[in-house]
Amino acid sequence: MPGTLIYINNSAVDGAGKPDPFFLQELPWLKQRFDRIVVVSQDGVRTLTGEEEKRYPLIKPLDGILLSFLKLPFTRELWQELRHLHRDGKFNIRNLVKVAAFTQRGLKMHHWAERMMRAVSEHSTTLYAMWMSFDGYAAALCKKKHPGMRCVVRGHAYDIDTERIPLNPYFMKKVIADRADGLYFISETAKQQYLSYMQGRVDEEKLHVLAMGSGGEPVESFREAPLYTQGVLRVVSCAQVLPIKQVELMVEALSQWKGVPLCWTHIGGGEGLEELRQLADHKLGPRENVICELLGQMKAAKIQKIYEERAFDVIVNTSRKEGVPISIMEAMRHGTPVIAPAVGGIPELVTPEVGWLYQPEEGAQGVLNALEKLAAFSQEEAEAMRAQVRAYWNDHCCSSALLPRLFPEAARYTRR
């Protein structure tokens, strides 16, 4: 005990078989507690433990792809969801194609998972779906075939929210709810979004709120606030430069900054990076008290290295919509306070003890007001908040502290 973990995540590994950042942060804890870990993604399947890890970095069984298309017209769940669309007056060719494509992806991942589960014991195998999307549907199909397996499914934002994806209620949510042993939402907000269309269609005793958490161990060394050691307010933001992230609000806020010398570091690339660079050059270039560095796209390991080598006074998030951002948690691990909008699950993460919330309609002015409050802190107040942030991360955001709630049986076991 506990045996095998079947990790189902559409982006779990890339085409070269490398695990994605979400999984990498959980992998050390899971490897200590499961004898075999099998990863199922849209790009293929691989085993991350034992001799199979070395011999089979990534395989893409063609039979699973073929079977998923052949079985699609005869899949009961597909016809159930099409009837669901018809009842709600939303049936059209476009929605039919989207639900069919969703079903085919889930069928493919299901067949790939089944291929990797040959000769495993039902009662020592856990199905773990990272998203309540076709990943969760694939896990539900496996659970139907192997009822003795434990099946847990996470719910985030894009896979729950109907504003982001209007068809979410028709993407096998009932099938997943019926088969899963536990549904774990990253925030109370995500759970309520789910219940807005699943109320009365799900056993609510299965529903739990459990943050995704961020990787790494608690940081023991104390990092002083740069404002008081260097005389510069050091601000960091970490996000893709996309319309939904609204990184340009940082430029607008800092163009009005009249306080102490400030250095803004942005981590993240994206389609709008060059436009953001031009905006920053135009609005911040002439300012003597503001320095801007746009670092562009970076791998997760490099981002962690930056946080280990540099101290920041605050991390700022400007998104229009969010779940519970891991980018914020990664900075909090090092004691960095937070400024963020009151959207999605952020208010459940950013309390008055660890930072400041601003209302989304305040925009750049909300960011500016919060920065001014931080700059007005005495050194004693700033250091006290940094200590509170680090303590909060240890208790509420550390992935290895949260995973035992997701895998209670595994938490009682450590491989030698």
Whole-angstrom distance, CA of residue 187 vs CA of residue 85: 28
Quote the pLDDT of residue 53.
57
Can you tell me which residue has the tokens 């009005």? 256
Residue 218 resides in a domain = no
Q: How far is CA 13 from CA 20, 30, 43, 244, in A?
A: 6, 16, 7, 25
Which residue numbers in the chain have pLDDT < 50? none
> Does 147 lie in the same domain as 40?
yes
Quote the pLDDT of residue 50.
66
Quote the pLDDT of residue 1.
53
> Does 164 lie in the same domain as 188?
yes
How many other C-beta atoms can be found within 10 angstroms of the C-beta atom of residue 93?
Answer: 7
Q: What is the pLDDT of residues 304-316, one digit of tens each?
A: 899 999 999 999 9
Q: Which residues lie closer than 8 Å to 106 by C-beta, 6 or more apart? A: 134, 135, 137, 138, 141, 172
> Does 196 lie in the same domain as 54?
yes
Closest listed residue to residue 375, CA positions, set 387, 385, 360: 385
Quote the pLDDT of residue 55.
56
> Does 406 lie in the same domain as 348?
no
Residue 220 resides in a domain = no
> Does 278 lie in the same domain as 189?
no
Quote the pLDDT of residue 129.
97
Residue 219 resides in a domain = no
Quote the pLDDT of residue 2.
67
Output Rg (C-alpha) for the chain, integer angstroms.
23
Residue 416 resides in a domain = no
Q: What is the pLDDT of residues 209-223, one digit of tens each?
A: 998 888 888 888 778
What count of residues does the chain have? 416
> Does 340 lie in the same domain as 241?
yes
> Does 255 lie in the same domain as 203?
no
Residue 406 resides in a domain = yes
> Does 243 lie in the same domain as 205?
no
Say which amino acid occupies 141: L
Whole-angstrom distance, CA of residue 242 vs CA of residue 203: 37
Quote the pLDDT of residue 22.
76
> Does 56 lie in the same domain as 93?
yes
> Does 76 lie in the same domain as 144?
yes
The CATH number that applies at residue 151 is 3.40.50
Quote the pLDDT of residue 17.
66
Residue 110 resides in a domain = yes
Residue 35 resides in a domain = yes
Domain of 115, in residue numbers: 4-213+399-411
Total domains, the chain: 2
> Does 284 lie in the same domain as 244?
yes
> Does 389 lie in the same domain as 405?
no
